[in-house]
Structure 1
Amino acid sequence: MACLFRRAIAEQVSQVLGLPPEKLIPHIHAIQVHRKQDSPDFQLYVNSVPGGQFNAACQMENAQKLASKLAENSVISQIGTGRGSVTFRINRDLLTKTILRKINQDGSSYGMNSELLSNTPRGLTLVEYSSPNIAKKFHVGHLRSTIIGNFIANLKEAVGCKVVRMNYLGDWGFQFGLLGAGFSKYGCEEKLRANPLQHLFEVYVKVSATAEKDEDMKRSAQDFMQRLENGHPQALSLWTHFRDLSIEEYAKVYKRLGVQFDEYSGESFYTEKAQDILKLLKSKEILKTAGDGKIVVDLSEQGDLSTYSTVMRSDGTSLYITRDLAAAIDRMEKYNFDEMIYVIKVKKHILNICLKFWRFLGKNICQHVKFGRVQGMQTRRGDVIFLEDVLDEARSRMLQNMANSETSKKTEDPADTAEKIGIAALIIQDFKGPLLSDYKFQWDQALQSSGDTGVFLQYTHARLHSLLNLWETREKEEFDANCLQDPSVSSTLQHFLRYDEVIHKTLKELQPRYLVSYLMGLGHLANVAHHSLHVKGSSPDVAHARLLFFNSIRVVLANGMRLLGITPLDKM
């Protein structure tokens, strides 16, 4: 594994420079594979060496000077220099045996116990994501929050953190006053049971349009909300009915996406606690009164109210921001988490207030993962509003592609296969670029079987898995490394060396594009190896070694896909 070789390099360099190996290991990087030329495995840039031992103006000279003092051994077969760096090539036989055995032994945990990740905090992480509004269909705008939050939770768990997956629902406010008042006029219990969110959406559209013109309807909505806040049994019963039906419908969509939550929470739980939070903020001297009588949290550095966020209206009523802050503090008391990550589009104000509050407690434990918008996600019927339409469209298009493909294999459940391929296509299309960037979604591009797509990853995994049917001695761990001398093997092994670095960078920045790029590279290397390393017709020893190699690619590919939220397919 990469960390074993980094340590071997670091120990030798440390003897020359008089630095502890631990100081050097983070600066020894696996070199990205060059398909058209042979390259070393690791490099150490001399200017990155701690302690300022080298003159920054003499990079080449420094590299050559350091390289001359190092010696090849049983681990390091070649030492050279690059542009300001010392390069190292690992003994090929040792490299092959070490990496393939390590992947075979570690399986899903491969790369997660690297020394690069040794300083990663492994406490309790609370991730809030998705957070749709109750009684409304799951809008496609929630797709990014849902899959990004799921990815972050997966990644944190993989490196050893305990994770709480939180879905904080928008289940309070004037919209329920409208629904409560409008359901008696426009609602139908039979339609509600048949298609809950669609019918509630239809009722909401009608009652909203009426309330804009009819003051009586608007007052009825306000009256219903007042009864709800006062705990009126009939109003509360109807609200609970809407909420339960909504969560049941959301669970169906989450199941299709392979997303789960440890806890469903919501604004409604914090309506009473909001006043307690205001008292707490006041006791910490965080609250101020603005000129119009509103109670605000001063977010300015100078304390001059140049930037602030309102937490209480001038009439003494709280806002949803107050309820959100109450939720954040309640979570801290309940879970005593080490970090809380918001993967929500509009949480900047909450984050700023939380940061200000936690600073009073000497903590800095809130993070907001921002993301852009998706454009151009349309079905054949026109503009898409709801996520279910997008999932149905992806499944439908993939079923058609599978039917038209001569290489498609028969599966027990073609619709389920098409669903998983379609979801992989959606996730990869979303994760290929920086999360903060807007991007234009293109169906034809996302669903291509070649190129850097989710379909390509699924196809590559399925093809690798199909090779396992030829593996008669898979329980045998020993293999002959001389059977794996092909250049495609060497390139793939070098790519394996980068896996823990990619995980480290992905974890540090919470950007899935690094992992996506790595998996695409691995998929393309697998294709090259598949064309040059034939299994059928080979001797038993050669076939065994090659199948162990191909299975190692499959294991790492599947591990990365699962981190992204993709279910790898064995057949397609």
Structure 2
Amino acid sequence: MACIFRKTIAAKLSKALQQPEELLLPALSAVPVFRKQRTPDFKLSVSLLRLNGILPKTGDIQLQTEDLTRQLIPDNVVEDISAGSGAVNFTINRKLLVQKLLEPFESESNTPFGLNSELLNTLKRGTTLVEYSSPNIAKKFHAGHLRSTIIGNFIANLKQALGNNVVRMNYLGDWGMQFGLLGAGFIQFGSHSKLKDNPLQHLFEVYVQVNREAEHNENLRQEARDFFRKLEEHDAEAVSLWQRFRDITVEEYQHVYKRLGVHFDVYSGESLHQSQALEVVQQLQSRGLLKTSDKGTGVVDLSSSGDMSNVCTVLRSDGTTLYITRDLAAAVDRKERYHFTEMIYVTDKSQANHFQQLFQILSASGHPWSESCRHVPFGLVKGMKTRTGEVVFLEDVLDEARTRMLHNMSRAQTTKELEDPEDTAEKVGIGALIVQDFKGPLESDYSFDWDRILQAQGDTGVFLQYTHARLCSLLQKNEDLEAAHFDASLLTEPSAISIVQHLLRYDEVLLQCSQDLQPKHLVNFLLKLCHLIAAAHRELPVKGSPVQVAQTRRRLFRGSCSVLADGMRLLGITPVDKM
């Protein structure tokens, strides 16, 4: 395993530099593979050592690099140590590298490859609460919530794989003035039979109609305010209607989540924190943080000079709570309930200011754990259309992905006989959507293009699935070659060594993802792995090769298939065995 080599190099450095190994382990990086040229396996950047205060900050970096290189002696594990430009390079004994890296794939291990690495053991583990998806009830699942759902799912998967206890929370938008409008609208325009037949479509139609009417109807606006006040006062009739809206919405959403392979441990919502929100207001008041504005609203002054130039409204003039008040109450309740080590909110970047204010108020209220709260913002998707026009609902996107993928598969000459072509098309289509979304920085907006997303060639989710299915086929056809032992000295070809070297980077990529919560590092690692696999598949035939050579090559492809599948599952993609 990679960690064995990293630890061996760290031990050498520890001896030369008189520094603890754990300080040096993260400073070692696996070298990205360039197939056309031979590269070392690991490098240590001397400039980083200077930043960490391990080496003097004065003096020539290159001279320090060469001096450190001279102090390190090669052995039967690290066969070559050389000075690069400001970095010390390490090359592992090739036979040992292949042997140790492919050994874990002898049997189906309980620990996926790379996760028991010394590098990942440096991470602190605890309870991670991830709030994601969080659509508004009484509305069909909007396509705009796709990003929050899949990004949050990736973060939860990653944190869990790295050994954290993860709470997956869906914080529904199930309170606020819009339910005053919807309640008043349903009383006036709603139909219980339509609600039973097509619940979310009917609620959507009612909501559109009541908003249109309320623009020029003050009486209706007053009825909406009255209905919401009744909700806040726990009026039985109002609460019963609202509860029905909530229950049918969650039931409908669960169908979409099942298609995406997403699940939640907790369905929470703003409604659960309405009474606690008033307690938060009282606490703000007792700490002298609550002020009254000229308009009679309750505000918290967040300006550094205390001149009310930057305020956050936490209470309406009529005494009802707002979204941020309920978010404050929710954060405090979650800390008490789940004792989280970190809490991560996944929403679009337009809410960045909201979360900045939320964390500031929590800190000012005497909650030092607010520093362990984090907002992961993401950009917008532009131009998402189906054949029938502009997309509004997520189910339309998933249906379109499945239909288009099914069409592409039916035209491809390589498509295998499938037991359930629609299920395969759905999994491949959803994987394609996820990879397209995760390829770049999350904060970036991107333009949606069906043809580009669903291409079998190039850096797409379809390419990942195709590579995985191809490997599964190769492994199945050569099942008789399954062997407990293999001869590592028979795997010397550059295309094979490139895969092995690339796999050395897996734990480092997972570490990078855990630090900045960006899935692009893993996506790019897996796409590169697929390109290296394609080259090796052409150059290293299994069938027809001498038995020991074939066994060793099969082990290489089995290892590649395993890492590819593990990585895809972390991203939220279900690997397919045939397509």
TM-score, scaled to structure 2? 0.95
Amino acid of the structure 2 residue aligned with 1:197: L
2: distance between equivalents of 1:74 and 1:284?
A: 66
1:287/1:225 CA distance change after superposition, 3 Å:
closer
The residue number in structure 1 matching 2:492 is 485
Equivalent pair of 2:78/2:90 in contact (CA under 8 Å): yes
Alpha-carbon deviations, 1:85-125, whole Å to 9, x = none? 11111001100010001344646522122222223121111
The residue number in structure 2 matching 1:413 is 420
Query: Cα distance, 1:200 vs. partner?
Result: 0.9
347-356 or 479-488: which moved more?
A: 347-356
In the TM superposition, 1:231-270 aligns within 5 A as 231-270=234-273
Q: SS of 1:118's equivalent? A: helix
In the TM superposition, 1:104-143 aligns within 5 A as 104=106, 106=109, 109-143=112-146
Amino acid of the structure 1 residue aligned with 2:7: R
2: distance between equivalents of 1:538 and 1:46?
A: 45
- Gaps of at least 5 residues in structure 1 are none
Equivalent of 1:470 in 473, 477, 480: 477
Equivalent pair of 1:128/1:341 in contact (CA under 8 Å): yes
1: distance between equivalents of 2:266 and 2:384?
A: 30
Does residue 568 in structure 1 map to residue 571 in structure 2?
A: no
Equivalent of 2:429 in 422, 426, 430: 422
Q: SS of 1:213's equivalent? A: coil
1:246/1:55 CA distance change after superposition, 3 Å:
closer
Q: SS of 1:109's equivalent? A: coil
Does residue 198 in structure 1 map to residue 205 in structure 2?
A: no
In the TM superposition, 1:485-564 aligns within 5 A as 485-564=492-571
Query: Cα distance, 1:470 vs. partner?
Result: 2.6
Amino acid of the structure 2 residue aligned with 1:74: N
Query: Cα distance, 1:352 vs. partner?
Result: 2.7
Does residue 166 in structure 1 map to residue 166 in structure 2?
A: no
Equivalent pair of 1:126/1:166 in contact (CA under 8 Å): yes
Query: Cα distance, 1:475 vs. partner?
Result: 5.8
Q: SS of 1:349's equivalent? A: helix
1:472/1:402 CA distance change after superposition, 3 Å:
closer
Query: Cα distance, 1:432 vs. partner?
Result: 0.6
491-500 or 200-209: which moved more?
A: 200-209
Equivalent pair of 1:47/1:54 in contact (CA under 8 Å): no
Q: SS of 1:4's equivalent? A: helix
Q: SS of 1:525's equivalent? A: helix
The residue number in structure 1 matching 2:358 is 353
Amino acid of the structure 1 residue aligned with 2:128: T
The residue number in structure 1 matching 2:104 is 102
Does residue 12 in structure 1 map to residue 19 in structure 2?
A: no
Query: Cα distance, 1:534 vs. partner?
Result: 0.6
1:216/1:23 CA distance change after superposition, 3 Å:
closer
Amino acid of the structure 1 residue aligned with 2:483: K
TM-score, scaled to structure 1? 0.96
The residue number in structure 1 matching 2:283 is 280
Query: Cα distance, 1:367 vs. partner?
Result: 0.4
Equivalent pair of 2:176/2:322 in contact (CA under 8 Å): no
1:337/1:218 CA distance change after superposition, 3 Å:
same
The residue number in structure 2 matching 1:404 is 411
Query: Cα distance, 1:347 vs. partner?
Result: 5.7
2: distance between equivalents of 1:507 and 1:334?
A: 24
Amino acid of the structure 2 residue aligned with 1:260: H
Equivalent of 1:290 in 275, 281, 293: 293
1: distance between equivalents of 2:303 and 2:116?
A: 42
The residue number in structure 1 matching 2:78 is 76
Query: Cα distance, 1:234 vs. partner?
Result: 2.4
Equivalent pair of 2:102/2:556 in contact (CA under 8 Å): yes
2: distance between equivalents of 1:223 and 1:280?
A: 27
1: distance between equivalents of 2:412 and 2:19?
A: 59
1:546/1:527 CA distance change after superposition, 3 Å:
same
Q: SS of 1:288's equivalent? A: strand
Alpha-carbon deviations, 1:430-481, whole Å to 9, x = none? 1111111111111111000011100000101111111121333576321011
In the TM superposition, 1:166-185 aligns within 5 A as 166-185=169-188
2: distance between equivalents of 1:485 and 1:97?
A: 12
Equivalent pair of 1:324/1:350 in contact (CA under 8 Å): no
2: distance between equivalents of 1:59 and 1:223?
A: 72
Alpha-carbon deviations, 1:207-256, whole Å to 9, x = none? 22122223333333333323333323222222111111100110011111
Amino acid of the structure 1 residue aligned with 2:367: L
1: distance between equivalents of 2:282 and 2:63?
A: 65
Alpha-carbon deviations, 1:483-510, whole Å to 9, x = none? 2111111101110111111111111000
Q: SS of 2:227's equivalent? A: helix
Query: Cα distance, 1:21 vs. partner?
Result: 2.1
317-326 or 377-386: which moved more?
A: 317-326
The residue number in structure 2 matching 1:395 is 402
Does residue 436 in structure 1 map to residue 443 in structure 2?
A: yes
1:107/1:450 CA distance change after superposition, 3 Å:
farther
Alpha-carbon deviations, 1:131-185, whole Å to 9, x = none? 1110011111111111111110011001000010111111122322222222244
1:104/1:303 CA distance change after superposition, 3 Å:
farther
Amino acid of the structure 1 residue aligned with 2:40: P
Q: SS of 1:408's equivalent? A: coil
- Gaps of at least 5 residues in structure 2 are none
267-276 or 248-257: which moved more?
A: 267-276
1: distance between equivalents of 2:272 and 2:34?
A: 56
The residue number in structure 2 matching 1:230 is 233
The residue number in structure 1 matching 2:47 is 47
Equivalent pair of 2:98/2:488 in contact (CA under 8 Å): yes
In the TM superposition, 1:448-467 aligns within 5 A as 448-467=455-474
Amino acid of the structure 1 residue aligned with 2:477: L
The residue number in structure 1 matching 2:151 is 148
Query: Cα distance, 1:46 vs. partner?
Result: 1.8
Query: Cα distance, 1:536 vs. partner?
Result: 1.1
Does residue 362 in structure 1 map to residue 368 in structure 2?
A: yes
The residue number in structure 1 matching 2:305 is 302
1:403/1:307 CA distance change after superposition, 3 Å:
same
Query: Cα distance, 1:321 vs. partner?
Result: 1.4
Q: Which runs of structure 1 show a deviation greater than 4 angstroms over 4 or more consecutive aligned residues?
A: 54-57, 103-108
Q: SS of 1:126's equivalent? A: strand
Query: Cα distance, 1:327 vs. partner?
Result: 1.1
2: distance between equivalents of 1:262 and 1:347?
A: 25
Q: SS of 2:377's equivalent? A: coil
Amino acid of the structure 1 residue aligned with 2:418: T
